[in-house]
Structure 1
Amino acid sequence: MPSAAKLSDAGIRFKSSKTQFIHDINFKNGVLSLPVFKAHDDTKKHLLNLLAFEKLYPCTGHEVLSYMCFMDNLVNTGRDVQLLRSKGVIKNLLSSDEELAQLINSLGSGALMSPFSMLDDVQRMVSQHCKKPFNRWRASFAHTYLRNPWVFFSLLAAVILLVAAIVQTVYTILPFYHKS
């Protein structure tokens, strides 16, 4: 799965889910809903303890490991953290966004997500959405022409002038063919 910045460029929006459960991560209609990830000084210790617990007791499942693999795919750089922080998905109490990106990448490195995990299905749906050319074109159009209101108004004026020129041409040519 691409990183958060690439997903945003492909037109996927991020929003925080109403609960804090890993099972509430879902993807519908181009919106990826995630529980808020709160990062503080003890986050690494807590996550390492949870990963060790899952490793020692396999009957408990692999939800934390799957979540860390998912977050590792989602976050590669500080730019990804900054984007998710601006959408309210990450609350970063560490010194920098780069530090949080390194923390997530170190915990998820070398781990494989279980193919039976619900998050694997979410990743598959996100990847399929990104592969569709229409979604990429629409996102590219929105990022290029709809971010600045002046660019949008210029585009609108150009379309109106183009339609007016076509209508004028049609009305100029029609009398020529109807006289004979």
Structure 2
Amino acid sequence: MEMRQIANDQSDICNHVSVDVENQLKLVNFVRDKLRLLSPLSSECCIYRAPKQLRQAAEKSFIPKVVSIGPLHHNREDLQDMEVHKLRYLKEFLHRTEVKLEDCIKLIKNSEVRVRNCYAETIDVNSDSFVEMILVDATFIIEVLLRTSFPELISGNDCIVGRRRMLKCVALDMLLLENQIPFFVIEDLLSQANVVFSPENDDVRFTMFKLTGNLLNSVSPRVKGREGFINKPHSSRIEHFLDFVRITLLPPKLPAQKYLLRSLSSIPTVTQLYQAGVKFKAQHSRNLLDVRFEKGILEIPCMYLCVSREDLFKNLIAYEQCHFNDAYLNNFAFLMDRLVQTSKDVEILIQNQILETNFPDNQRATTFIKNLAPGAIMIGDDFIFADLCEDLNVYCRVPWHKWKATLKRDYFSTPWAIISVIAAIVLLLLTFLQTLFTINSNKCS
């Protein structure tokens, strides 16, 4: 009996092992099939939905308000009214440029695979519908760009661009959110239609840069002492309009060296720097990385804060996280978040013309900056402002800087305060001399 039981047990074990091996093979084949069917992420990929954690924190910043461009929000019911207007613009584009509809469709059809590869997710739309959507949206963009640069193209019954407020809403949806189409599609259509910005220059890329720059300048508040967006970004490749904006905010040569941030909690606030004697100066540069600290002076690029800029920066932060290895604008947002903790910090920056805003109070401007940082990240331990923050900490640790700042702020802040201090010193000196004279007189007598 015992031998038979042992044999049965061994048989059960073998059967169990056989079943496990069979199940593992099934799982291996199942996963292998999924990997085989998985389409590789193309090198052309440049258009993404914002990461879920960012959308959950600020859903409205990533949703178009007026018009949908591209496939990601194409079927939104609240945006369908604009589809008829986009068709009207396609009709006007074909009539004015005298380009054939057949040629436009052929051009986009030939680029369909490349266009689809630009999206991080699979666009589940058949070929004809996809080509039609890209054509309608691309020509709509061209018409809006042209009407911005050439107001004479606006007809009396133009229901979109004829109204400046509507134009701003359209432009923000069209250019600053991530529901876009690739830049090269619009360039190709411009080239085929032979649309140029001026007779002096027939370069399509220059035309596209100029038109886009004009539109951005028309809807973007001008910062005092600095012109609007540049008309020609310092890059040979522009992915889409949000990429265009990002390039205009960064230097031609991006920082290559990486820095290790030792302590994130040690970055002093604007108020702490002010109390330590640091002076603030507005840097009239469109390069947001141009933050400098030399000889007790902290220079920060001036910024205009408004609701549309908040949406823009959130989309830029999301785009960097999805597309780039180096998150430069994320680093800038992180730095500003640490510098600005209260409305007092904002007040100091406004007084020094570093910040301009149309918000009703400083607390709303503070909220603007604090709302950017929850989505901002750093890649590993890399932080391009680490050395600058370390220099600020070293300066704040020197007691003399704080004493000198306090003395100047409390006793030499106004001419009357200076006069009062001088009068007090003179009075003290006279009192001392009088006392000394009295003592000497008593000794003589």
Normalising by structure 2, we get a TM-score of 0.36
Aligned to 2:406: 140
Which runs of 5 or more residues in structure 1 are unaligned? none
2:370 counterpart of 1:123: no
Please say if residues 2 and 74 of structure 1, whose CA atoms lie closer than 8 Å, have aligned partners that are also in contact: yes
* Structure 1 CA distance for aligned equivalents of residues 293 and 364 of structure 2: 27
* Structure 1 CA distance for aligned equivalents of residues 295 and 304 of structure 2: 26
Aligned-pair CA distance for 1:19:
1.1
Aligned-pair CA distance for 1:23:
2.5
Give deviations 1:58-91, integer Å, cap 9, x for gaps: 33x1111110111111112222222211211011
One of 360, 366, 369 as aligned partner of 1:95:
360
Aligned-pair CA distance for 1:36:
0.8
One of 84, 104, 107 as aligned partner of 2:372:
107
Runs of 4+ in 1 over 4 A off after TM superposition: 110-115, 164-177
Tell me the amino acid that sits aligned with residue 67 of structure 1. Answer: F
Give deviations 1:27-85, integer Å, cap 9, x for gaps: 011111011111122112111111111111233x1111110111111112222222211
* Structure 1 CA distance for aligned equivalents of residues 375 and 402 of structure 2: 30
2:275 counterpart of 1:9: yes
Deviates more, 1:1-10 or 1:45-54: 1-10
Please give the residue correspondences for 1:21-170 in structure 2 after superposition, counting only pairs within 5 Å: 21-59=287-325, 61-109=326-374, 111=376, 113=378, 115-166=381-432
* Structure 1 CA distance for aligned equivalents of residues 441 and 365 of structure 2: 70
% of aligned pairs identical?
A: 25
Partner SS for 1:16: strand
By relative contact order (CA 8 Å, sep 6+), the higher-ranking structure is: 1
**Max radius of gyration: which structure?**
2
Aligned-pair CA distance for 1:176:
10
Normalising by structure 1, we get a TM-score of 0.83
**Per residue, is there more strand in 1 or in 2?**
1
CA RMSD between the two structures: 2.5
* Structure 1 CA distance for aligned equivalents of residues 442 and 372 of structure 2: 75
Tell me the amino acid that sits aligned with residue 70 of structure 1. Answer: L
Please say if residues 81 and 100 of structure 1, whose CA atoms lie closer than 8 Å, have aligned partners that are also in contact: yes
Partner SS for 2:307: coil
* Structure 2 CA distance for aligned equivalents of residues 2 and 117 of structure 1: 16
Deviates more, 1:124-133 or 1:75-84: 75-84
Q: How many residues align?
A: 177
